[in-house]
Amino acid sequence: MQAEPKKSQAEQRAVAEPVSEPVSLVGEEYEVEVGPVAHGGHCIARTSEGQVLFVRHTLPGERVVARVTEGEEGARFLRADAVEILDPSKDRIEAPCPFAGPGRCGGCDWQHAKPGAQRRLKGEVVAEQLQRLAGLTPEEAGWDGTVMPAEGDKLPAGQVPSWRTRVQFAVDADGRAGLRRHRSHEIEPIDHCMIAAEGVSELGIERRDWPGMATVEAIAATGSQDRQVILTPRPGARLPIVELDRPVSVMRVEEKDGGVHRVHGRPFVRERADDRTYRVGSGGFWQVHPKAADTLVTAVMQGLLPRKGDMALDLYCGVGLFAGALADRVGDQGAVLGIESGKRAVEDARHNLAAFDRVRIEQGKVESVLPRTGIDEVDLIVLDPPRAGAGRKTVQHLSTLGARRIAYVACDPAALARDLGYFQDGGYRVRTLRVFDLFPMTHHVECVAILEPAGKGS
């Protein structure tokens, strides 16, 4: 038998000395001066020892007591909540929502900030991401720094716009509906969500019990009276009889395949935008703010200025919102190709755009399908990628197609900035950038960047 190799001294020590667990700092409190806002709904502060804190429920310039919610000794940063405000900002208000605050509902980030301050903070985040990840100043991006509220959302401090047309309620072990706490599976039971659209609130999800359910998603379509609930049962649970305050269709998420299946009523809702009705099935993606679809279509079309006869791409096209708008404007001599990975979304897009002979919708990932089409030249491109962005490879491909203009719709400013950097490498520059506050009270924004070849004069 061959003898085992002799262990080194370091290996012997590792066996003899057990590795100590990192020391958790959760619950520790620090009195800190709060610095700038950061991407993610928090501000940056430092302890007297120089430890970085990401602090929620505070505002730049405040002095607060911050209690650690995540992190351990030696971590690059700690997460914390401001649990006592020692020196408040002039932009601070009392949170209108009774469920907001440290350790409570995680759905909103800025309930404690005046509406105008929220938009300024979001603008600062977008500017910081552009500079850090794309090397662009707001001026170089053709942006004046304004974050525009949606129509009807410009309200006095203390009033909250009811905008969220799709709300997923979590259900606790007692069958009570609520919303999850920040970065947690714990549930905050609520009796009303202030940012929920009227069509969601009128269903009364929070006013009844949901035994055996894990989640209940409520959808209130824009431009129709369609209402839908999507139930996700806990393993082995039976569906309850759904009796709500308004007529609804009911869908169920199956435990085996995760698919969404009809229980009763229509398996889709009808959304309205750009003077067209769109079918959206099985809880598929549609902009959550009731004004968002029209706002974004207007911004994209104003930026692209489509012409009759143009060839256009709509990438990550969902149920065909931008493809439909493009098809209307490029006319019978133009053509639109949409690419979408979701099977049900592709079925809906084909249904929604069946009246256009020159629109084609392909299913699959953009980075796989687009090269297979053989397309080597287009006039216009719209891309509305998921939160992670399009990525270097896809942007490099798009940069070779010679598009006169490209519209990039983004829900994450970091991903947008990264991809804008790749577009710059590919010979495109940002002509204009518009930023919209389509998610009031949260840290999220929606951006529309219009790009053109760098050699083209402004």
Cite the active site residues.
411
Measured CA to CA in angstroms, residue 381 lies from 43, 305, 407 at distances of: 36, 12, 6
Residue type, position 404, single letter: R
User: Is the distance from CB of 274 to CB of 286 less than 8 angstroms?
Assistant: no
Buried b (16+ CB within 10 A) or exposed e, 355-391: ebeebebbbeebeebbeeeeeeebbbbbbbbeeebbe
- Among 439, 445, 399, 446, smallest CA distance to 419 is for 399
Residue type, position 319, single letter: V
User: Is the distance from CB of 228 to CB of 269 less than 8 angstroms?
Assistant: yes
The whole-angstrom separation of Cα 89 and Cα 85 is 9
Q: Compute how many other C-beta atoms are within 10 angstroms of the C-beta atom of residue 399.
A: 20
Q: What is the CA 406 to chain-centroid distance, rounded?
A: 21
- Among 399, 402, 411, 400, smallest CA distance to 443 is for 411
Q: Does residue 411 sit in helix, strand or coil?
A: coil
Q: Residue 251 phi/psi, 5° resolution?
A: -120, 160
User: Is the distance from CB of 428 to CB of 452 less than 8 angstroms?
Assistant: yes
Residue the block writes with tokens 């079309």: 301
| Axis crossing angle, helix 321-330 with helix 292-304, rounded to the nearest 10 | 40
- Spell out the residues 6+ positions from residue 167 whose beta carbon is closer than 8 angstroms to its own: 193, 196, 200, 205, 217, 218
